[in-house]
Chain A
């Protein structure tokens, strides 16, 4: 199957980016160097092309009901311009995907949502929504708009200043003076950039302050070029999100190879058991009983770099888990990672070992996020 290409594939190529396959998309992994791009986001501001993320649009009389029953959080709490992080789970409470849900301005008097499934899962998610809508006989329109929107993330301590400079107008009650700097984290607004209507949200996945912009696919170049800052690839996005202790779909959870519940994955805060959703009963039971394993952050004490798939052992060298993400942290200059271990090994300060190419390396469980941000 040919790779899908973001609208700015050619622009990135001209800029000298290297590319990688990710979720069926041909995406820039590195523009200058991961270290340079990472530092720009931690210290200043950088822009990522995340057009591989999916966009599913839901509206109609039962849109809220459908969203409520297919995601773990409470969408009824969302006012127009609010965003919410949630999980999508199966009947067993296993995470199928994680997502951000935006409540858009009402359409035809009906609540309207746009949510962002991970790269490569937009089609299956769209089918899931349609299938359940039909089964439950709900009245809602569900559109896969992944190829209508490009998505950019502008991230870093100076993101607000830059985005505010670039945005012409911002229109919601939350953007009091038409300024995006008035938005709180997880608030969003309609805005205009160089005459183009965009959806601008104070969200991101780097641990820094920042904004994500949904822009018309056909206007992607115009919006991208309005931001004069360091372009960043998926390589830096990965090191930034690991430092922030954030999950990567398909790696830190994977319904096929590594099925995990939100409680195991450390995103139990996305589960509202007061709402009815697919997986709710299983999760209520797991929540009551407690989990046997959980995702922890760790730092390697010995020299080496932990990588996805490496064994985690206890000090007696018995295999107790697997590394799901790992890197050399550009900020800390320490080797850090994430992995699942039995809860008795999950307390910060616990000594573990990671088997790096056949050699046991000492590691210590750390509180995540690994760095102080925001």
Chain B
């Protein structure tokens, strides 16, 4: 089975993606991760204004069958939380790289993005 791995963003080994636009980093989980989890039924996310640390837990995602922690791709301040997911967590399954996004972070240092996996490297990891 092949999975989408858009090359406009970076990835964590723990399957989160990070997409920088105008200095804000949007975060979600990959197509592979949503497929592994199965039907997503619940997400627990931080509040706007919270600080997150690169590679530290920022929330939890639960599918019918499993619970997983979510890890931040960069350190910074949470400037936006995708609250639609609280009522429609299935968006993560339906559109993981689009409407299934979770957070937007204003990073302390955008150079941290360089430490993450490229699309090719991530594709190798899940191959």
- Min CB distance A305 to B, Å, is 5
Closest to B41 in A: A328
Contacts of A305 on B, CB cut-off 8 Å? 41-42, 62, 67
The answer to whether B42 touches A34 (Cβ under 8 A) is no
Given contacts A16-B1, A357-B60, contact A303 B65 (CB under 8 A): no
Closest to A16 in B: B1
The answer to whether B1 touches A34 (Cβ under 8 A) is no
- Min CB distance B39 to A, Å, is 5
The answer to whether B1 touches A327 (Cβ under 8 A) is no
Closest to A236 in B: B64
Q: Would you list which residues of chain B between 35 and 65 have a CB under 8 Å from chain A?
A: 38-39, 41-42, 44, 60, 62, 64-65
Give the distance in Å from the alpha carbon of A82 to the alpha carbon of B54 in the complex.
Answer: 62
Contacts of A235 on B, CB cut-off 8 Å? 38, 64-65
Interface flag for A330 (CB, 8 Å): yes
Contacts of A34 on B, CB cut-off 8 Å? 38-39, 64-65
Contacts of A239 on B, CB cut-off 8 Å? 64
Interface residues as binary, A33-49 with B (CB distance below 8 Å gives 1, 0 otherwise): 11100000000000000
Query: Size of chain B's interface in residues, with CB distance under 8 A?
Result: 13
- Which residue of B1, B60, B64 is within 8 Å of A330 (Cβ)? B64
Interface flag for A201 (CB, 8 Å): no
The answer to whether B1 touches A35 (Cβ under 8 A) is no
- Min CB distance A40 to B, Å, is 14
Closest to A38 in B: B64
Interface flag for A260 (CB, 8 Å): no
Interface residues as binary, B93-119 with A (CB distance below 8 Å gives 1, 0 otherwise): 100000000000000000000000000
Interface flag for A30 (CB, 8 Å): yes
Give the distance in Å from the alpha carbon of A71 to the alpha carbon of B63 in the complex.
Answer: 38
Contacts of A210 on B, CB cut-off 8 Å? none
- Which residue of A35, A304, A357 is within 8 Å of B39 (Cβ)? A35
The answer to whether A29 touches B42 (Cβ under 8 A) is no
Interface flag for A307 (CB, 8 Å): yes
How big is chain A's contact interface, by range?
Answer: 10 to 19
Contacts of B44 on A, CB cut-off 8 Å? 303-304
Closest to B66 in A: A307
Q: Would you list which residues of chain A between 311 and 344 have a CB under 8 Å from chain B?
A: 327-328, 330, 335
Give the distance in Å from the alpha carbon of A34 to the alpha carbon of B93 in the complex.
Answer: 12
Q: Which of B41, B60, B65, B86 has the most chain A CB atoms closer than 10 A to its own CB?
A: B65
The answer to whether B42 touches A33 (Cβ under 8 A) is no
Contacts of B65 on A, CB cut-off 8 Å? 29-30, 34, 235, 238
- Min CB distance A325 to B, Å, is 13
Contacts of B62 on A, CB cut-off 8 Å? 305, 328
Closest to B90 in A: A35
Contacts of A307 on B, CB cut-off 8 Å? 67
Give the distance in Å from the alpha carbon of A3 to the alpha carbon of B126 in the complex.
Answer: 25
Of all A-B residue pairs in the complex, the 6 with the closest CB atoms, nearest first, are: A328-B41, A35-B39, A34-B64, A305-B62, A34-B39, A235-B65
19 further interface pairs, Cβ-Cβ under 8 Å (given A303-B86, A305-B42): A16-B1, A30-B65, A33-B38, A33-B39, A34-B39, A34-B64, A235-B38, A239-B64, A303-B44, A304-B42, A305-B62, A305-B67, A307-B67, A328-B41, A328-B42, A328-B64, A330-B39, A330-B64, A357-B60
Binding site for A on B (CB under 8 A): 1, 38-39, 41-42, 44, 60, 62, 64-65, 67, 86, 93
Binding site for B on A (CB under 8 A): 16, 29-30, 33-35, 235, 238-239, 303-305, 307, 327-328, 330, 335, 357
Q: Could you show 16 A-B contacts with beta carbons less than 8 Å apart?
A: A29-B65, A33-B38, A33-B93, A34-B39, A34-B64, A34-B65, A235-B38, A235-B65, A303-B44, A303-B86, A305-B41, A305-B62, A305-B67, A307-B67, A327-B64, A330-B64
